Amino acid sequence: MRVLLLGPYPLPGRPIDGGVMAVVHALAHGLQERGMEVAVASAGPHLEDARSEEQGLVIYRVHTPPLPRLRRHWWVRRKLQRVIRQFQPQIVHAHGTGLYATVALSSARAAVITAHGVAYEEARRSQPRSIKERLAWRYDARSEARNLARTRYAIAINPYIRRAFDAYPAIHWFHIPNPVDERYFHIQPRPQRGRLLAPARVIPRKGTDVLIRAFMAVADTFPHAQLRIAGEMTSVPEFVQKCRQMVADAQLTHRIHFLGSLDSEAMVEEYSQAAGVVLASRQETAPVVIGEALAAGCPVIATRVGGVPWMVEHGGTGLLVPPEDPQALARALARFLADEDAVRDWRAQTRAAARVYRLDAVLDATIRVYETLLAEHAPRTADRRYG
């Protein structure tokens, strides 16, 4: 079986940046190990047009020109369509409901989309700073709607996705969670007392500012507590500066650490030493970092948004709080930092809860989807040729 994955993929020697990239990377290597011919095609402004072979995978990278939405991604779509003609896949698997979905649905190949986010919700909660950003989010939400209206097969990584897109009854949904790298299941936890890890990009949607306010509220009561923020810091520099200034004004630079993007080995080490993981997001779908945390034996404190309540059991594997509420998050942090017996109980349940995210189970389910698509696609292809 020849499979083309459309989605973000790391550059050689660079860390994996974000949950979708982690999923594409894990699926590509997992499918290859199952004996499939796999290629990945990625587009981005920082990429140059190139084809390479990396660890046995064929990787196509496509440059995105400035202001691509003004051209409705016309030039990028043409280049990705050229990749499809060159690789000749039997299955095109797009990750996301935007550009990659547009290309997959236009390919005349058996196509499936994994919906990793809900653009209209992210647009509402991402605090766009300019007219340009507001227009970009509006374009993405409309593109999502157009693509879903003509999608036949899609993968929901979380029940929240089905609920968010229930206006598209023609879609045949498959339920497959995002996989977690197997290394996280083999971490030997060495939790340090009071050490909190926030594995998230420093952007408004992730609520870094809310998290800092909550930590400030408990810092005096728990002088041993540390907050380590691990995630990309280049997308919204003014927001990063705002967060850094909040920390400096509170005189907490020695206790709140901005680590930036970390490679996989460094992230494994962070999880191994974390007493718990905390996310203050304003909007999420199904964060891969929650699966990673549970697999690593870390309880999770998170906001009750999007698909998070399906991943974290309140009082079982962690705590859930309302979004945009620093006081509620501070109370949860205080409970976590004070009640070591409860935290020990939560930690004992995390790895059992993470079993659904094991790569082998996700690969089995994904391959069944591909087989269903091929069985459905072959008769329709024959009809178009000979009908």
Distances (CA, A) of 212 to 13, 204, 306: 31, 12, 21
- Residue 234, C-beta contacts closer than 8 angstroms, at least 6 positions apart: none
Q: Which residue has the tokens 């420093």?
A: 202
* Contact assessment for residue 59 and residue 51, using Cβ atoms and an 8 Å cutoff: yes
Distance CA 270, CA 273 (A): 5
| Of 265, 180, 252, nearest in space to 223 by CA | 252
Residue 339 has a CB neighbour count (10 Å cut-off) of 12
Distance CA 341, CA 129 (A): 44
Of the CA atoms within 13 Å of residue 185, those in its CB half-sphere come to 14
Distance CA 187, CA 270 (A): 10
Q: Which residue has the tokens 């995002």?
A: 178
How would you write the pLDDT of the chain (387 residues) with one tens digit per residue?
999 999 999 999 888 888 899 999 999 999 999 999 999 999 999 999 999 999 889 999 999 987 666 566 788 999 999 999 999 999 999 999 999 999 999 999 999 999 998 876 766 665 656 776 776 768 888 899 999 999 999 999 999 999 999 999 999 999 999 999 999 999 999 999 999 999 999 999 999 999 999 999 999 999 999 999 999 999 899 999 999 999 999 999 999 999 999 998 999 999 999 999 999 999 999 999 999 999 999 999 999 999 999 999 999 999 999 999 999 999 999 999 999 999 999 999 999 999 999 999 999 999 999 999 999 887 665 455 434
* Contact assessment for residue 263 and residue 151, using Cβ atoms and an 8 Å cutoff: no
Q: Which tokens go with 11?
A: 């550059």
β 153-156/50-54 pair status: unpaired
The domains found in the chain, sorted by start residue, are 2-179+358-381 (3.40.50.2000), 182-357 (3.40.50.2000)
User: pTM for this one?
Assistant: 0.86
| Of 32, 36, 65, nearest in space to 48 by CA | 65
Distance CA 245, CA 200 (A): 18
Q: Which residue has the tokens 């993470």?
A: 354
